[in-house]
Amino acid sequence: MLAWILPATALPLAKHRLEDSMAAYMAYFDTLGFEWIFNVTDYEKKKFWTVLKGDDKVDFPIPRHAILRARANPQRFPEIWAFESEISLKELQIYSEETPQVLADAIRRCGQNVFKTHKEESVIV
């Protein structure tokens, strides 16, 4: 189990909990809101079976250009985070649309940062 868990209790009114397990997620958000949230729980299993089959590629649910896009848009202060949660992907997507700041704050408290552009403090003269 990962150390960065977003429990259902971190978000008020969380209803759609997963049965018997946690799911691993990756999220990309910036000052304009959430770009995406992906469930990456089964990626390692798919990767394992792909190697056993002798295939070269496994579909990765996260856009491969995510960090490049984040670096190209520093004015939006993008952040990419990994976290586990018992909350379903559907409910996380609803939170990302209806209360994105609450979800972003909860992910920052419980998640593992993958990429972040730091916002510099303004100087008032």
Domain coordinates in residue numbering, the chain: 5-116
Is the pLDDT confidence value at 125 over 60?
Answer: no
Residue with the two structure tokens 């770009």: 35
**How far, in Å, are 36, 73, 97, 100 from residue 31 at the CA level?**
13, 11, 13, 10
> How high is the pLDDT of residue 17?
54
pLDDT band at 108 (very low <50, low <70, confident <90, very high): very high
- Do 15 and 119 touch, CB atoms closer than 8 A? no
Query: How far apart (Å, rounded) are the C-alpha atoms in residues 124 and 30?
Result: 24
- Predicted TM-score (pTM) of the model is 0.72
What integer pLDDT is reported at residue 3 of this predicted model?
46
Q: What is the model's pLDDT at position 1? A: 40
H-assigned helices in the chain: 43-53, 66-72, 89-98, 100-110
Contact 58, 74 (CB under 8 A): no
